[in-house]
Structure 1
Amino acid sequence: MLRDEHELAAGVVEETVRTKDENYADVRFTTREDRAVPAKVTAWKDLPARGDRVSVCYSPRDPVSHVQDARICPDFATPRNLVIVSLAMLPVLAALWTPWLLRRAFRRKS
């Protein structure tokens, strides 16, 4: 949803929670329509401390449920990094696979 449409807003961290299973911050921010929104934000580049001023990225349709750290909004890094790693692995795989293919081809001719 954030990839399709999103807005940026400044907010204040009211509480941070660090547990074994999850890290999140309760943030209060104001939407473009001047609506004060409390939200549990789990997507952070670095979890902020209580009282920190933060920038968040939210969906105008559902700002409570669809909100994350503005530094990672929208998150296009994951697909881009996957493509870069895949392309970088092609020459490595070719270098490792070519000797095996050549040995196999020469064994068949003998």
Structure 2
Amino acid sequence: MTCYAIGHLRNVEMGAEIFAYLEAIDCTLAPFEGRFIIHGGQKHVLEGEFAADLIVIAFPDLARAQAWYASSAYRNIKPLRTRNAVGDVFLIEGVDTDHKATDVLSS
């Protein structure tokens, strides 16, 4: 089941450390088959407010997402982000392609 690493980042200070983080992150994802599916982008807010940046990285499964986050390659660059942005980061598993909204009622 696809697993997503979600970053909800606020107050990002675009400077040398963030640039270094962005230049290095792709190499940390490759061994775990991670790929960006959302990385900031223009927002078209339909309800409420959303003043943060949203980042979504897809992995083939939870194990690879966890292994990426725990990898030494990612741990080495993570402080470049955490010193320069405030936010929430979490992993969440996706659903099958045939998922229906009512499927959550049987869980």
Shorter-chain TM band:
under 0.3
TM-score (norm 1): 0.23
Structure 1 or 2: larger helix share? 2
Larger relative contact order (C-alpha < 8 A, sep ≥ 6)? 2
TM-score (norm 2): 0.24
Bigger Rg, structure 1 or 2: 1
